[in-house]
Chains A and B, each alone.
Chain A
Amino acid sequence: MKVTVEFLSLPLITQPLGKKKIEIEFKGSTLADLARELGSTIKRAKDVLLNGDGAIDHDIQIYINGASQVQGEERQSKVLGEGDAITFMMLVAGG
């Protein structure tokens, strides 16, 4: 499946990546499948984006196609669609 992934306020990922938005192809269809692919292909994504279980860390908000954030079990099990736009966002503290 091919989706677009955007990283907001995640400079530890976007700086080495050189961009905030990527298209990525992965095996499977769920957010957990996408997380696995990101962890293995994007530098620093494993440290910044994923927790010890390989799931998206709870510090990261997830939005699909700009809609309300994905919560609870769906952070792993949510089935994505071809061409979906997934946004990962971290809270920013700088003042």
Chain B
Amino acid sequence: MEDKSPGQLIEEARAEVEEISVDEAYRLSLNDVPPIFLDIREPEQVAAGYIKNAVFVRGDEVEMHARHLLPDEEAPMLLYCGEGVRSLFTALTLKEMGYKNVRTLAGGLKAWIEAGYEIQSDSLLTREQLNHYSRQIILKEVGIEGQKKLLAAKVLLVGAGGLGSPSGLYLAASGVGTLGIADCDRVAVSNLNRQVIHAYDNVGERKVASALEALRRANPEVNLIGIDERIRPDNVLETVSGYDIVLDGSDNFATKYLLNDACYFAGKPYVYGGATRFEGQASLFHPAGGGPCLRCIWPTPPIDGLVPT
């Protein structure tokens, strides 16, 4: 059988996939419910500019991520690439997967720009950042806008223990811009089974120093701030004031209630966490956003001794 030329393959794809003009695509983008603009280009191309509100997934990864990103097979979507060719083949893949309303942008982003339509570019995100965070940027719940928010966010993490370890590592890895970590303890051997931010070599060190070392390894671009002291009534308000949100991984009710109270007065969201044995509790308290605070539900800390930590 004779191999088909690239031109023949493109023509065959065009026969299967509907292409629409950039003018029509622009008109659709203004609808109350616009189609999903799916940008299938490489991260470095995306960095140079993209259509507003686009969802990103590399063309060669569309089979892997489509079911999560695009759960509705009926939803109208408009694929685009640089010049409108690769998107044809990705559209074919999506149609074979069962997506019923797939079209492509004729001429791709090049035609869109030449027609004078606006693109967005992200001076905040470098090519390296787009690559680093690409697996979460492709999630529609995050996207480039979400990543920019993460990079600008200032998070205070209290406790570098069982809750603080994974929380801190994930926050740093995901690209939170500033991460403060507070603890006043030293690393003990018995911590290591669960406090995974610390390693055997860190036993005896201050937990904050050990955590900062691990967080720096996880993501050197995060602005890390170590707070090697206990959170107390006389320093809590000043400590939380420099952050957007407080994540509580402390191991005692006194600190938890102190953080709740400080966040209440400072108008900051307070993320509660508590764990014992195989059970855990997590909750977001944000009275300034209209919700309750911890004391609205539990007015006072439980009596010592009734709850093992």
A94 to B302, CA, bound (A): 13
> Are B299 and A92 within 8 A (Cβ)?
no
Q: Are B275 and A92 within 8 A (Cβ)?
A: yes
Contact A12 B306 (CB under 8 A): yes
Q: Are A90 and B302 in contact (CB under 8 A)?
A: yes
Distance in Å: Cβ of B22 to nearest Cβ of chain A = 51
Is A91 within 8 A of B308, CB to CB?
no
The smallest beta-carbon distance between A46 and chain B, in angstroms, is 13
Contacts of B163 in A (CB 8 A): 95
**1/0 per residue B284-309: CB within 8 Å of A?**
00000000000001111111001111
Give residues 144-194 of B contacting A (CB, 8 Å). Answer: 159, 161-164
B187 CB to nearest chain A CB (Å): 15
Known: A91-B307, A92-B276, A95-B164. A59 touches B252 (CB 8 A): no
Give per-residue flags for A54-95: 1 if the beta carbon is below 8 A from chain B beta carbons, else 0.
Answer: 000011010000000100000000000000000000111111
Chain B hits for A93, CB < 8 A = 250-253, 256, 274, 276, 301, 307, 309
Interface members, chain A 24-43 (any B CB < 8 Å): none
Chain B residues near A92 (CB-CB < 8 A): 274-276, 279-281, 307, 309
Q: Roughly how many angstroms separate A69 CA and B275 CA in the complex, as a whole number? A: 21
Residues of B whose CB lies within 8 Å of any CB of A are 159, 161-164, 248-253, 256, 273-277, 279-281, 297-303, 306-309
Hey, which chain A residues are within 8 Å of B273, CB to CB? 95
Contact of A94 among B276, B297, B298, B300 (CB under 8 A): B276
B281 contacts which chain A residues (CB < 8 A)? 9, 91-92
Total contacting residues, chain A, CB less than 8 A: 15
Measured between C-beta atoms, what is the minimum distance from B171 to chain A in Å? 16
Most buried by B among A12, A48, A92, A93: A93
CB proximity of B254 to chain A, nearest CB, Å: 9
Chain A-chain B contacts (Cβ-Cβ < 8 Å), number: 72
Tell me the minimal C-beta distance from B209 to chain A in angstroms.
19
Contact A95 B249 (CB under 8 A): yes
Across the interface, do A95 and B306 meet the contact criterion of CB distance under 8 Å? no
Q: A95 near B299 (CB under 8 angstroms)?
A: no
A91 surroundings in chain B (CB, below 8 A): 253, 274, 281, 298, 301-302, 307
Q: Which of B162, B298, B300 lies in contact with A95, CB distance below 8 A?
A: B162
Distance to closest chain B CB from A21 (angstroms): 13
Name the one of A8, A11, A59 contacting B302, with C-beta atoms under 8 angstroms: A59
| Chain B: minimal CB distance from A23 (Å) | 21
In the complex, which residues of chain A have a beta carbon less than 8 angstroms from the beta carbon of B302?
59, 90-91
* B249–A61 touching, CB < 8 Å: no
Q: Is the CB of B256 within 8 A of A58?
A: no
Q: Is B307 a contact of A61 with CB atoms below 8 Å?
A: no
Bound: A94/B276 CA distance, A: 5
Expressed in whole angstroms, the Cα–Cα distance for A8 and B277 within the complex equals: 12
CB distance from B304 to the nearest CB of A (A): 10
Beyond A9-B274, A94-B274, 5 extra complex contacts between A and B, CB < 8 Å: A93-B253, A94-B251, A95-B159, A95-B162, A95-B251
List 15 interface pairs A-B (beta carbons < 8 Å), by A numbering. A9-B279, A11-B279, A12-B306, A58-B299, A58-B300, A61-B298, A69-B297, A90-B307, A92-B274, A93-B309, A94-B251, A94-B276, A95-B162, A95-B249, A95-B273
